[in-house]
Structure 1
Amino acid sequence: MTGAEFRTMALALPGTGEAPHFDRAAFRVRRIYASLAADGLSANLNLSPEEQAHYAALLPGHVRPVPNAWGARGWTEVTLSGLSPDRLEGPLRAAWARGSARGL
């Protein structure tokens, strides 16, 4: 998967908009649910800690907690290279659902 493919997938989710966020592209509905690194090699997803653990076990080598306090809250780094779009669909949709929910 490339950064361009990730962008296309994220923008295809209902209500999603894209805006700059520091050195990344952020994707949001009500809240930011994903961001794409400027080099297009990785993305961060806002998952619950339980979803993070599930996808890290399901996709080892591609999915891991962001290495700081944000990671403990569920922010998850995804390495895109070698990951097929169908494997990313579940975690991306889970992040989108969190970004769409009221009260997060």
Structure 2
Amino acid sequence: MLPDDVRALARLLPEVIEGAHRGHPDFRVGGKILATLWTEEDRVVVKLTPEWQALMTEAQPDVFEPIAGSWDARGWTNVDLNSADEDTLRHALLSAWRTVAPRRLVAAFEPSA
């Protein structure tokens, strides 16, 4: 996957806007960062729940890796763009969106159970 693929998929999510964080493009919803793109390192960092982080890193350790230090405990996770396919990247971004988006927004776009 390429950085432009990240941009395109992130912008499909409701109310996501692109910004910048410490010189890197980022994607926000409700003023909160859901993903930061590291173009020179071919990775995107996404904010997941600790549970989703554990599931994804266990299922695809070649794609997902927790950020070292205290960032790990807060769910921040590297996604290797060289190893991720479109479905995996889409799922990671959607999971990050669900993690940080305002509950009212998530409820408005999630199918009723």
> By the TM > 0.5 criterion, same fold?
yes
Kindly report structure 1 stretches of 4+ aligned residues shifted beyond 6 Å: none
Counterpart residue number, 1:17: 17
What CA deviation, in whole Å up to 9, does each residue of 1:35-69 have, x standing for no partner?
Answer: 10132600000001110000111211110101121
Q: Distance in 1 between matches of 2:51 and 2:83?
A: 24
- The number of aligned residues is 102
**SS in structure 2 opposite 1:55?**
helix
Q: Which has the higher helix share?
A: 2
Show structure 2 runs of 5+ residues with no match: 104-113
1:12-53 CA-to-partner distances (Å, cap 9, x unmatched) read: 111000011002111001111111013260000000111000
Aligned identity (percent) is: 33
TM-score where L is the length of structure 2: 0.84
Tell me the TM-score normalized by structure 1.
0.91
Residue 89 of structure 1: CA displacement?
1.8
**Which 5+ residue runs of structure 1 have no aligned equivalent?**
none
Q: C-alpha root-mean-square deviation of aligned residues, in Å?
A: 1.3
Query: Is contact 1:23–1:37 with CA below 8 Å preserved after alignment?
Result: no
For the pair shown, which has the larger CA radius of gyration, 1 or 2?
Answer: 2
Q: Which residue of structure 1 aligns with residue 109 of structure 2?
A: none
Q: Tell me the secondary structure at the aligned position of residue 58 of structure 2.
A: helix
